[in-house]
Every structure is written in C-alpha cells, then in structure tokens.
Amino acid sequence: MTETDVPIPRMKAHDRRELVIESATAVFGDYGYYGTTTDQIARAAGVSQPYVVRMFGTKEKLFVEVLERALVLLLGSFRRALANDDGQPLQRRLGLSYVGLLEHRGLLLSLMHAFVLGSDPVIGERARQGFLQVYEFLRTEAGMTSTEAGLFLAGGMLSNTMIGLRMTDMDSSDPIAHELLEACFPEKLEVVVELGDTYRPDPK
C-alpha cells in the first residue's frame, strides 16, 4: 500500500502545444484530415482527447495549424539550402533539403493530403495559397524559370506519392519497385529508404 505517488509530469502550455502539433502532423500524414480522429492525436501526444480539441477550438483549426507550420518549415528549409551554397547545383541542394524534411514525420504527407482537398472551402484555400507560395519562392528567390520550377515541383509531387504509397516498403522485395524508386530519387535513395524506416510503427 505504499503508494509511491510519482508526480504527474506537466508541461508548459507552449511546449505541450508544440508536441500536439507534431503528433497531429504524424497522424494526419498517415490518414489525412477526415481519416484522423482527435483521439488518435491525443493518444499520440499523451494527453486526453478533450484537451486537444480545447487547445485548438476545432479539429479543422488544428489541421490548418499543422498545414501552416509545415509550409513554414518547408520554406525555411529551402531558404537555408539556398543560402548555404556548397558548390553543388541548386536543384540538388533543394532536393536534398526536401527529402531531409522526411525527418519531420508526416510533414510532407500532411501537405499532400491538403493538396487534394481543394474543394474544402477552408483547407483548400489555404493549401492553394501555400502551394503558390512555394512556386513563387522557386521563381523569385531561387531564380528558377517557370519550366525549371515546374520540373522541380513535379519531382516533389512524385516523391510525396512514393512516400504516401509506402513504396519504400517494397523496395527490397520487388525489383520493379526498386527501379521505380531509383528513378524517383536519383542519388538520394539510400537517404529516403533510411528515413522511411522511421515510418514503420503506427498501429491504428
């Protein structure tokens, strides 16, 4: 009966909020906006479901927050890669910067989910705006032509699709899948597969 009353850990609201947004990003990345429940997010963050809802008002506001943070991180990462000129061509620097974002679990996938929800009045509007922001970065800040930017974005969308499909799971077993992945991630496949492994453990 010696109730060793271990003190319940408490975080500052700001830190907890960050943690919830990160957890939400991961879960939204797996199941999308509609497929994710606030309870899943709460359990991933180690808090109660009502707390998650109250923290952001609604599930939709939380998703928009996730979307906005993802765009900030993406553009920040690109700007750093742009400034940090190590002699390699720009396309490659940005490309590596992009796959580096896989470390933020669910970030690129949450973006991708948002990108196919254009008919939603709130999420769709923000997603369009975000995509245009990225395009404008490539055109003005990175100095790409519209064709170059288009090719770069196309590669990004294909990457997202491969990640979304969990195609890296088939990399070792299926030779066709392996070849496809080689074509999708020229010179960076090892990185992607390794980072992709982080994605494994997530029981619904």
CA-angle at 59, arms to 159 and 68, nearest 5°? 45
Cβ within 8 Å of residue 188, ≥6 positions away: 95, 96, 99
| Residue number, 33 or 56, with CB nearest to its own copies | 33
CB crowding 106-139: b at 16 or more within 10 Å, else e: bbbbbbbbbbebeebeebeebbeebbeebbebbe
83, 119, 173, 201: which one binds its own copies (CB under 8 A): 119
Q: Of the two residues 51 and 80, which places its CB atom closer to DNA in the complex? A: 51
Q: Is 173 in the site for its own copies (CB under 8 A)?
A: no
Spell 52-90 as b/e; 16+ CB within 10 A means b: bbebbeebeebbbbbbebbbeebeebbeebbeeeeeeeb
Judged by beta carbon, residue 32 or residue 130, the one nearer DNA is 32
**Judged by CB, which is closer to DNA: 16, or 92?**
16
The binder of 12, among DNA, its own copies, none, by C-beta within 5 to 8 A per type, is DNA
Q: What is the largest CA-CA distance in the chain?
A: 72
Q: Is residue 28 classed as helix, strand or coil in its secondary structure?
A: helix
Provide the terminal-to-terminal Cα distance of the chain, rounded to the nearest Å.
36
We find the least distance from the C-beta atom of residue 70 to its own copies, in angstroms, to be 14
For its own copies, the closer CB: 2 or 173: 173
Site for DNA in 33-62 (CB under 7 A): 36-39, 46-51, 53-54, 57-60
Report the interface residues with DNA, using CB under 7 A.
5, 7-14, 16, 36-39, 46-51, 53-54, 57-60
Report the interface residues with its own copies, using CB under 8 A.
30-35, 109, 112-113, 115-119, 124, 127-128, 131-132, 135-136, 139, 146-147, 149-151, 153-155, 157-158, 160-161, 163-167, 169-170, 174, 176-177, 179-180, 182-184, 202
